[in-house]
């Protein structure tokens, strides 16, 4: 509570202090993208984005690293290079939707997305829609949604860039981007390769006596290619096509507690995505139509080599077809209206040869969105929308959302925003049909989400901005896998909880001239209290307790100073205590994951020549050598290093 009060006091005082400094001094700096930049037509929405510097500094890693370091989203990672999922505002991984150019990348089988398989080098822009604000683009995002976009650079001619990175644990990363074309045509090709032995030394607290240890059987290889074509037509129209192929091969290490017999375990993933997109950017009418296909093949294998027994040999094939048409019209200077229709089809074939089990199921789903916005006065805007959903022969006609945005008067621009939304999340196909434990009688999760935001920015554009958001969400029919009520050996899916999530998010960004250079500071903080509200206290000790793996406190801070061709960066992130049992017991050391800080620093220099730039960067990760886990008994790397070399050629 003291941390929250301090954040609020700082939020209220910062504006006055900075305003006083601005009365006598005007600092002219180069304009850059900033966190929480307001988009046209975003009345009442809570939207944020990592700044352009964040995308550049994380170009060689995966989306999970970008989100963990620069957003309030909590990332649950099973280890370096392993599966990583998102927890947005204290909700489950399946409650965060990942959208790529309008195409949903969440697995229809599991309901979630693996963020460790999305290279940052494959995206040009990223932003978040928090809570009910995600209703404008997708459904099922009880926590929020993550949006990724590719955009052509019509101003640039031919160009090519190459990035090579060598890092600790015999890690090598390689990225390339080639853009060709002229006039109304552009072709962009991106390549990625990432491999590591991943032999991480760590201090093993999972055994007695505790000792120094080395992670084994954790190596991985990933590679991908993305091909984009863009054609600009007359009257501000554009046609785009994209093809994305990716493959990964990951060995899965044994738990650091060495529970169970020695085993060989691996997971192989293969994805193919194709998309065709049409956009019309007319002044009074904007049209966006897209059609896409997503094919995912995953092979999971686990055996006990000592007794030559195969525990699992599972193969799943997921196919999804997406179709979306959106039209926005500016009826007048004060009125705008948007309608969106969607029709999607999914099919999942899952088989475990070792267990002689599996299922083959499909799903047809669709939706209609009606969204109206009214600029009532110069300072007040109102928004109202309704989303209707169809799936599994069920029709949900009314999922509403409403919000307002008020521009406050005063010397410093202040915006007050509020939004309240219903939301609806359908069970995944695994929840319904997995053998054993799937439950075809599951109800959809329903929620009511509200948030209130106050945003400020400097009168001098781009100098500083900050925003604080209070959120409240109540979710019924929370789906949870738990031991079978019949006493069987397997777990089963049930609607067992009413979950209450509330808290606040704070984010800020600032920059100023300092000693002939530019200094940039930005950060995020999130307080999240997520509890089970409908358990019977005498039977279930989880009532009123924090959900597992959800930290109450988390945040990050970044500092960068650029002088001519040099840039120095420092960063730190904090993750609070996380419980691994629903009763929140922490008398036994294995039931709680302690808070940790992860700090890093880097130095970068750009050498500019007539036709190309050469970039060098050295970075120290986990500078203080924190010993931590994000998932119980899955060690994360201590202090390690990376060296990056980049070449960029322009015609």
Per the structure, the complete domain to which residue 47 belongs is given by: 2-650
| 3-class secondary structure, 403 | strand
pLDDT confidence of residue 268: 98
The secondary structure of the chain in percent helix, strand, coil, rounded to multiples of 5, reads 10, 55, 35
Distance CA 298, CA 293 (A): 17
Residue 162: which pLDDT band, with cuts at 50, 70 and 90?
A: very high
What angle is formed at CA 507 by the lines to CA 561 and CA 498, rounded to 5 degrees? 145
pLDDT per residue over 554-608, tens digit each?
A: 999 999 999 999 999 999 999 999 998 887 776 555 578 999 999 999 999 999 9
Residues paired with residue 369 on neighbouring β-strands, in sequence order: 340, 387
Residue 35: which pLDDT band, with cuts at 50, 70 and 90?
A: very low
Residue 412: which pLDDT band, with cuts at 50, 70 and 90?
A: confident
pLDDT per residue over 83-100, tens digit each?
A: 999 999 999 999 999 999
pLDDT per residue over 361-372, tens digit each?
A: 999 999 999 999
pLDDT of residue 421 exceeding 90, the answer is yes
pTM over 0.85: yes
CATH number at residue 214: 2.40.170.20
Distances (CA, A) of 58 to 313, 338, 388, 424, 487: 35, 35, 38, 33, 47
Residue 535: which pLDDT band, with cuts at 50, 70 and 90?
A: low
Residue 9: which pLDDT band, with cuts at 50, 70 and 90?
A: very low
pLDDT confidence of residue 30: 40
Dihedral sign for Cα 13, 18, 23, 24, please: positive
pLDDT of residue 28 exceeding 50, the answer is no
Q: Please, what is the average pLDDT of the chain?
A: 90
pLDDT of residue 161 exceeding 90, the answer is yes
The DSSP H or E segment spanning 450 is strand 445-457
pLDDT confidence of residue 283: 80
Least confident stretch, 130-134, 279-283, 337-341: 279-283
Residue 14: which pLDDT band, with cuts at 50, 70 and 90?
A: very low
Q: Which residues contact 129 (CB under 8 A, 6 or more apart)?
A: 45, 46, 47, 136, 137, 141, 144, 145, 147
pLDDT of residue 213 exceeding 90, the answer is yes
pLDDT confidence of residue 484: 79
pLDDT per residue over 374-393, tens digit each?
A: 999 999 999 999 999 999 99
Residue 59: which pLDDT band, with cuts at 50, 70 and 90?
A: very high
| 3-class secondary structure, 88 | coil
Half-sphere exposure of residue 575: CA atoms within 13 angstroms, side-chain side: 26
Share of the chain above pLDDT 90, in %: 76
pLDDT of residue 1 exceeding 80, the answer is no
Domain count, the chain: 1
pLDDT confidence of residue 536: 54
Share of the chain above pLDDT 70, in %: 91
pLDDT confidence of residue 458: 86
pLDDT confidence of residue 38: 40
Residue 6: which pLDDT band, with cuts at 50, 70 and 90?
A: very low
Residue 137: which pLDDT band, with cuts at 50, 70 and 90?
A: very high
pLDDT of residue 78 exceeding 60, the answer is yes
The DSSP H or E segment spanning 54 is helix 52-57
pLDDT per residue over 423-434, tens digit each?
A: 999 999 999 999
pLDDT of residue 249 exceeding 80, the answer is yes
Asked if the peptide bond before residue 260 counts as cis, ω within 30 degrees of 0, the response is no
pLDDT of residue 19 exceeding 50, the answer is no
Asked if the peptide bond before residue 209 counts as cis, ω within 30 degrees of 0, the response is yes
Distance CA 157, CA 154 (A): 8
pLDDT confidence of residue 428: 97
pLDDT per residue over 478-531, tens digit each?
A: 999 888 777 777 889 999 879 999 999 999 999 998 778 999 999 999 999 999
């Amino acid at each position: 509570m003291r941390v929250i009060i301090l954040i609020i006091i700082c939020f209220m005082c910062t504006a006055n202090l900075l305003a006083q400094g601005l009365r006598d001094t005007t600092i002219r700096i180069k304009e850059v993208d900033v966190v929480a930049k307001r988009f046209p037509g975003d009345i009442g929405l809570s939207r944020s984005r990592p700044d352009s510097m964040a995308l550049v500094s994380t170009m060689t890693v995966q989306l999970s690293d970008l989100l963990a370091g620069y957003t309030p989203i909590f990332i649950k990672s099973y280890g370096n290079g392993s599966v990583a999922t998102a927890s947005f505002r204290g909700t489950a991984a399946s409650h965060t939707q990942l959208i790529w150019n309008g195409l949903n990348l969440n697995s229809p089988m599991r309901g979630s997305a693996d963020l460790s398989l999305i290279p940052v080098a494959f995206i040009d822009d990223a932003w978040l829609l928090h809570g009910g604000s995600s209703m404008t683009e997708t459904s099922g995002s009880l926590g929020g949604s993550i949006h990724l976009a590719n955009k052509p650079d019509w101003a640039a001619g031919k160009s090519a860039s190459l990035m090579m990175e060598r890092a600790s644990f015999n890690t090598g990363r390689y990225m390339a981007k080639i853009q060709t074309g002229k006039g109304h045509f552009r072709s962009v090709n991106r390549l990625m390769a990432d491999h590591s032995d991943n032999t991480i030394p760590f201090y093993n607290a999972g055994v007695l006596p505790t000792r120094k240890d080395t992670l084994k059987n954790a190596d991985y290889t990933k590679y991908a290619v993305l091909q984009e074509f863009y054609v600009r037509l007359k009257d501000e129209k554009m046609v785009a096509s994209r093809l994305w192929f990716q493959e990964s091969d990951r060995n899965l290490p044994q738990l650091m507690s060495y529970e169970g017999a020695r085993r060989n375990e691996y997971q192989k993933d293969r994805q193919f995505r194709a998309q065709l997109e049409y956009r019309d950017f007319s002044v009074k009418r904007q049209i966006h139509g897209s059609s896409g296909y997503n094919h995912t093949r995953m092979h999971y294998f686990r055996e006990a080599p000592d007794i030559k027994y195969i525990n699992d040999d599972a193969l799943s094939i997921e196919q999804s077809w997406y179709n979306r048409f959106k039209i926005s019209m500016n009826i007048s200077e004060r009125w705008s209206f948007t309608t969106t229709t969607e029709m999607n089809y999914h099919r999942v074939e899952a088989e475990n040869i070792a267990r002689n089990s599996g299922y083959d199921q499909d799903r047809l789903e669709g939706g209609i969105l009606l969204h109206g916005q009214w600029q009532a006065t110069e300072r007040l805007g109102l928004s109202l929308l309704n989303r209707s959903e169809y799936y599994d022969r069920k029709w949900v006609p009314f999922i509403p959302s409403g919000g307002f945005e008020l521009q406050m008067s005063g010397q410093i621009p202040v915006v007050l925003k509020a939004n309240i939304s219903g939301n609806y999340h359908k069970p995944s196909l695994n929840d319904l049909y997995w053998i054993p434990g799937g439950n075809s009688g599951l109800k959809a999760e329903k929620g009511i989400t509200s948030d209130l935001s106050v945003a400020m920015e400097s009168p001098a554009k781009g100098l500083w901005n900050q925003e604080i958001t209070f959120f409240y969400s109540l979710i019924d029919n929370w789906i949870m896998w738990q031991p079978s009520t019949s006493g069987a050996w397997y777990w089963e899916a049930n609607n067992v909880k009413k979950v209450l999530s509330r808290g606040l998010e704070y984010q800020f960004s600032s920059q100023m001239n300092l000693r002939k250079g530019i200094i940039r500071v930005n950060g995020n903080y999130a307080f999240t209290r997520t509890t089970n509200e409908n358990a019977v206290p005498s039977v279930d000790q989880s009532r009123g307790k924090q959900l597992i793996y959800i930290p109450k406190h988390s945040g990050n801070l970044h500092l960068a100073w650029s002088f001519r061709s040099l840039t120095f960066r420092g960063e730190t992130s904090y993750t609070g205590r996380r419980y691994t049992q629903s009763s929140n017991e922490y008398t036994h050391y294995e039931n709680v994951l302690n808070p940790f800080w992860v700090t890093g620093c880097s130095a970068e220099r750009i050498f500019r020549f007539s036709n190309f730039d050469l970039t060098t960067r050295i970075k120290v990760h986990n500078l203080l050598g924190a010993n931590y886990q994000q998932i119980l008994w899955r060690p994360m790397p201590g202090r390690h290093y990376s060296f990056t070399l980049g070449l960029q050629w322009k015609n």
